[in-house]
Amino acid sequence: ARRIWLTRHGQSEYNLKSRIGGNSPLAPAGEVYARCLSDMLIDRVPQDGDQRVPVSVWTSTLCRTIQTARYLPFFKLRWKALDEIQAGTCDGLTYDEIAQLFPEEFAARQKDKLRYRYPAGESYLDVIQRLEPVIIEMEREKESIVVVGHQAVLRAVLGYFMAKPLESIPTLDVPLHTLLELRPRPDGTMDFEYIHMS
């Protein structure tokens, strides 16, 4: 049976410093997760007779997802559309810095996280829209897929597959170092499980 696995990249240097966006490499704990992810997935790829079902790995074009996928022994594809929400003028800042430097922007995002668009950046609605071609391909694909993505992008993908209300998408729980396994049911809906790093 086909699986769709979603995971965020391992902890990055920016995650460690609580900075958003950027294109930083993995921190040491993120590197540990990358190795562990490979073991967790190899154990979970369903067997079809003697054969393991083929798997492809989709990453964003950012270095933290590419590094996280590095040890996965499967075919890999990079999608620009899987890149993290673009924070525009707030890229590289911490939430505290945003609150101090741009208090009105910070308040506007807290008020309506779904629709709020960063100056020269994106909103969750923008991300949901640009993910459409990727989601269509995910549905069309016959193989199992591992998507190594980012917090906002994976909230949107999870929200779509689990048919969550739009308003709930910006706060769905997609923690670091956790594999989300989606298993299609015959009726077209999905079973869903969080698998924490062992």
Chain contacts with ligand F6P (rule: CB under 6 A) = 15, 20-21, 84-85, 87, 150-152, 170
Nearest distance, CB of residue 20 and ligand F6P, angstroms: 4
Residue tagged active-site, from 19, 109, 130, 150: 150
Nearest distance, CB of residue 24 and ligand F6P, angstroms: 10
Is 181 designated active site? Answer: no
DSSP E strands in 44-163: the ranges are 47-48, 51-52, 55-59, 75-78, 144-149
Cα–Cα dist 2/119, whole Å: 40
Is 15 designated active site? Answer: yes
Nearest distance, CB of residue 87 and ligand F6P, angstroms: 5
Is 172 in a helix, a strand, or coil?
coil
Pick 3 or 150: Cβ nearer ligand F6P: 150
Residue tagged active-site, from 3, 19, 64, 109: 64
Nearest distance, CB of residue 185 and ligand F6P, angstroms: 29
What region, left, alpha or beta, does residue 120 occupy, with left being phi > 0 and alpha being psi -120 to 50 degrees? Answer: left
Pick 21 or 55: Cβ nearer ligand F6P: 21
Reported as type and span, the H/E element at residue 178 is: strand 178-184
Cα angle: 76, vertex 182, 67; to 5 degrees: 30
Which residue bears the tokens 């699986």? 3
Pick 130 or 150: Cβ nearer ligand F6P: 150
> Sign of the C-alpha dihedral, residues 129, 192, 179, 177?
positive
Is 23 designated active site? Answer: no
Is 9 designated active site? Answer: yes
Pick 95 or 194: Cβ nearer ligand F6P: 95
The set of catalytic residues is: 8-9, 15, 64, 84, 150
